[in-house]
Structure 1
Amino acid sequence: MKSFQHALVAVALLLWANASHGAGPVAADDAQGNRAADLEAMLARYADAAKQFYDGRSGAVKALWSHADDVTLSGAAGGETAKGWRNVSMRLDWASAQFSRGSKQVELIQKTVSGDLAYVVQYEHILFFPPGKNTQSRRDYRVTTVFRREAAGWRVVHRHADMQMAREAIR
């Protein structure tokens, strides 16, 4: 639970920092509307790319990430947070190789666009076959994804996913 709360605090700080550095939390209605529409198109491309990702092919998802040195990935399989495009790229390759014949359903919790930053919070439900196995598996993730508008359009700059779907008391 703490990691998810930390991710939400980080997103809030990113949006605040973006607003306080001239982009402003409320852009002109038409500019903000265009950004929101562009983000919707990006989310549709990301959904299409996820079909390949959960079939063991990471290339289409990787194409939607920023390739900058400030990208980060905290994957649902645990481990250290990958920092920088080289490390994130390798982590995405590794993660995608854990799946075959997969599909993903998304439950959107929150979507926010503020200037050149945006984020989505969602539940992802993955059905897949582990490579070499004939038994289907399921993973349910809580996910926060942060996007930044770059010259090529919206790109993923951070993703945090975990499997802590059940609330547990701290003991």
Structure 2
Amino acid sequence: MSEREEFLVWLQSEFVRAERAMFNGDDGPRRAIWSQDEPVSVLGAWRNAANRAELVEAFEVLSTSFSDCADYAFDLIAFNVLGEMAYTVGYERVSASIDGEPRTFTLRATQVYRRERDGWRIVHRHADKVAGS
């Protein structure tokens, strides 16, 4: 299996499971796929973070808003693996409750990953809500 294929397997399994858990109110799996090592950063649709402590706080706060994830899909537009680094660009399509109100929305997301001793870890995320979703 090539590096690109291995990365896609990880993305379609661990990453998707972690995001679905987040939209069900559990931020633990999402925190687990993020790097423990600085630098890490988020420019998010709802919260920003510039280091690991801010990232953990942002995920904890956000997860309390989400519940009842009925659907999560990551539509990958582009990606590449370059040695120990990778990136993805795509749309996250989500149906979940936010503060108890069912919603369906789409996020445009770009992420940067670093291969670490225990596998792929996210080091940066930029996401924004697609207008009209």
Corresponding residue of 1:90? 57
| Rounded Cα–Cα distance in structure 1 between residues aligned with 2:55 and 2:46 | 14
Corresponding residue of 2:21? 52
Q: How does 1:31-110 map to 2 (within 5 A)?
A: 33=2, 35-43=3-11, 44-78=13-47, 81-102=48-69, 103-110=71-78
Residue 113 of structure 1 pairs with residue 88 of structure 2: no
Measured after TM superposition, the shift of residue 49 of structure 1 is 1.6
Residue 142 of structure 1 pairs with residue 108 of structure 2: yes
Kindly provide the CA deviation profile for residues 82-120 of structure 1, in whole angstroms up to 9, marking residues without a partner as x.
111111111111222221011312211101111111011
Corresponding residue of 1:152? 118
> SS of 1:42's equivalent?
helix
Q: Which amino acid aligns with 1:70?
A: P
Measured after TM superposition, the shift of residue 141 of structure 1 is 0.6
Q: Which runs of 5+ in 2 are unaligned?
A: none
TM-score w.r.t. length of structure 1: 0.70
> SS of 1:136's equivalent?
strand
Contact 2:24/2:66 (8 A) holds in 1: yes
Looking at secondary structure, tell me which structure has more helix per residue: 1
Looking at secondary structure, tell me which structure has more strand per residue: 2
Kindly provide the CA deviation profile for residues 4-57 of structure 1, in whole angstroms up to 9, marking residues without a partner as x.
xxxxxxxxxxxxxxxxxxxxxxxxxx8xx2x22331232111111222111100
Q: Where in structure 1 do 4 or more consecutive aligned residues deviate above 4 Å?
A: none
Q: Which amino acid aligns with 2:73?
A: Q
Q: How many residues align?
A: 130
Measured after TM superposition, the shift of residue 165 of structure 1 is 4.4
The structure with more radius of gyration = 1
| Rounded Cα–Cα distance in structure 1 between residues aligned with 2:6 and 2:52 | 23
Measured after TM superposition, the shift of residue 127 of structure 1 is 0.7
User: RMSD of aligned C-alpha atoms?
Assistant: 1.7
| Rounded Cα–Cα distance in structure 1 between residues aligned with 2:31 and 2:10 | 13
| Rounded Cα–Cα distance in structure 2 between residues aligned with 1:68 and 1:148 | 10
| Rounded Cα–Cα distance in structure 1 between residues aligned with 2:45 and 2:78 | 19
Q: Which runs of 5+ in 1 are unaligned?
A: 1-29, 167-171
